[in-house]
Amino acid sequence: MKILVTGAVGFIGSHTAERLQHLGHEVIGIDNFSPYYSKELKNLNKKALSSAGIQVLDYDLRESNLETVLPKDINYIFHFAAQPGISSTSSFEDYFSNNIIATKNLIDYALQLPDLKLFVNIGTSSIYGLEATFPEDKAPKPASHYGVTKLAAEQLVLQKSREKQMASCSLRLYSVIGPRERPEKMYTKLIALGLKDEAFPLFEGSDKHLRSFTYVGDIVDGVVSVIEKEDLVNGEIINLGTEVEHTTQEGIEAVEKVLGKQIKIDVKPKRPGDQWRTKANIDKARELLQYNPQTTLLEAVEKQVAWYKENFL
């Protein structure tokens, strides 16, 4: 199969592109190399993809003429590209243009593909709101610009399934961790600051937040499993993550155990829109995709620490 992966040099997109190539598919990546975080990591990911034989196009999905730069013989689209997370440095316009306009442009391109089997939107547990412990039919209550715009993007994609214009599904991911995690995310920052003996900024009360910290390899297992299952997943929303919950404090302690040192903490004011609990309800993923994440939190942290030391020390 010929597969397009958007956001291909990002954290989860790069892992998915590699897995798809390893499975024998022809993979083309696209990424706008956004300055949201250092290009050093993105270029590192691009180098890994190039080594695997994956071409990555430097192009912005917010440009409307995608058919002029992308091939017409794509069979699957995995849409990871987005303005990520909850950040005070991102404006509403950033979320709107990257998550809604870019997705609409990609849909317009997809509708021109004669051999497209499935458009896979990558959603997020943030769509559910401050608590994300629900099955997929629960009414969403997003509490951030990120969650609101990702919900809109998801519905734009699924609209085309309802109109029977293309097959599509949306995968809502839960608290993904592991090698290549973005530098502002919890575990990469914990590891980096812990190794430098600098204080980790912890939002007040967040040490008690509960998360389904899910290893990126387990997430990718679920993502790629939709291939050749378009009849089963068309029009569906599917949660992917682990059912095991850990507090943020337990995450900090896992990093401390692997590093063999205590991490200094600098408590910051609460951050609005931050989820206080996520626990992936994956009954539907088990039924449709035989999804069964297995990696423990400590195993995931060990892999992430090893990756960080190899690439940044």
Does residue 87 carry a pLDDT above 70?
no
For residue 164, what pLDDT band results from cuts at 50, 70 and 90?
Answer: very high
Per residue in 228-258, pLDDT (tens digit) is: 999 999 999 999 999 999 999 999 999 999 9
Q: What is the mean pLDDT of residues 248-270?
A: 96
Report the pLDDT averaged over residues 18-30: 98
CA 282 to chain centre: 17
What are the extents of the domains in the chain?
A: 2-174+215-241+282-292, 186-209+245-278+299-312
Q: The domain at 2-174+215-241+282-292 falls in which architecture?
A: 3-Layer(aba) Sandwich (3.40)
List the catalytic residue out of 76, 128, 146, 308: 146
CATH class of the domain defined by 186-209+245-278+299-312: alpha beta
Q: What is the pLDDT of residues 118-163, one digit of tens each?
A: 999 999 999 999 999 999 999 999 999 999 999 999 999 999 999 9
pLDDT value at 82 more than 70: yes
Active site annotation includes 146 = yes
For the segment 59-71, what is each residue's pLDDT rounded down to a tens digit? Answer: 999 998 999 999 9
